[in-house]
Amino acid sequence: MNDRQTVLTDERLAQVLRSRTAEPDPEMLSKIVREAERTKQASLWWVLGLRAPMLSTLGVAAVAVAVIAVIAMYLAAIGAVNRVGGPTPTPETTLLFQTPFEYTLRDDGDLRISELGEIESPVENLDSLAVVFTAGTGDGDRGVTVAQPAGSTFPWCFGDQLLGADATVEDVLADSWLGLQPLGEPTASTEKTIDGRAAVTIWSPSGRCPSQHPWERESISPEPGYLTFLDVDGVVVVVSVWGHTDAVLADWLPEANGFVQTIHFLGGRP
């Protein structure tokens, strides 16, 4: 313990971070290369597809048979996982504002995530954050963000109102969202389901939140996006599919919607 006042300036922080860094062993590069030399690279069927002209007809047929066999084994494995009594995927467990909240992604969801570049930012310390995770292509142009708007210690994009943890989807839509002018009026809403749960999707044009604090201005969908609100056992969750521009979003939407449909919520508050 220390009763001195420590002023955490940018320079002080940078200095401490520098003190934590080290330089790599001079031999490390050659170690990595040697290890890579012994490591077989992965390949995908679509990679083979790109090289198909180089293969003979017989070779293509052999590859096709092999691919079918692999897919069959994969589907059999999925079936085994999904059968009652089969191995259960380990869920990601998070604590949202003292609210136990769990989610997982089905097997095909995991596959999709690896194609998307993995979940970029599952949040671990949620004392002030509401984002559960953001997945995307890793370029900042498009993504899917899952968050809990109500009960946040941040007002989000909801008219600087702090919604209580008990807020319902209707509260979020009626009391806050619909009255939020800077983001624009929602132009369309549709009903759908995510994980078998009733959900309402709203189109969100590009806009900014009215907050005076810069870090609160762009939270859920600062860029064009579709916000889907649903109730997970008493917890309002918003799933935002966003893109940098309308065109990017339109291109991203089918894949993103496919990903969203792989989300499985294990439960909200007890």
Partner 1 sequence: MAQVPAARSEGDDENVALAATGDLAAFENLVASRLARAFRTASAILGNEADAQDVVQEVFIAAWRRLPTLRDQSKFDSWLHAMLMNRCRDTLRRRQRSREINLGRTPDNPGENTTDVVGDAELVNAAFETLSTDHRFLLVMHHLHKVPVADLARQLGIPEGTAKWRLHAARSALERALEAHR
Q: Which residues bind partner 1 (CB under 8 A)?
A: 1-4, 6, 8, 10, 12-25, 28-29, 31-33, 35-37, 39-44, 47, 115, 117-118, 120-121, 123-125, 127-129, 131, 134-143, 145, 154, 214-219, 222-223, 242, 244
CB of 154 or CB of 203, closer to partner 1: 154
CB of 9 or CB of 57, closer to partner 1: 9
If you search the block for the tokens 């940098």, which residue do you land on? 244
In the bound complex, what is the minimum distance in angstroms from residue 77's beta carbon to partner 1?
Answer: 19
- Give φ, ψ of 207 to 5 degrees: -175, 180
CB of 8 or CB of 58, closer to partner 1: 8
- What is the distance between the alpha carbons of residues 163 and 181, in angstroms, rounded to a whole number? 18
In the bound complex, what is the minimum distance in angstroms from residue 92's beta carbon to partner 1?
Answer: 12
CA distance between the termini of the chain:
38
- What is the distance between the alpha carbons of residues 211 and 183, in angstroms, rounded to a whole number? 12
CB of 197 or CB of 208, closer to partner 1: 208
Which stretches of the chain are DSSP H helices? 10-20, 28-37, 45-50, 57-82, 107-116, 169-171, 246-260
- What is the distance between the alpha carbons of residues 178 and 230, in angstroms, rounded to a whole number? 16
In the bound complex, what is the minimum distance in angstroms from residue 244's beta carbon to partner 1?
Answer: 7
In the bound complex, what is the minimum distance in angstroms from residue 170's beta carbon to partner 1?
Answer: 26
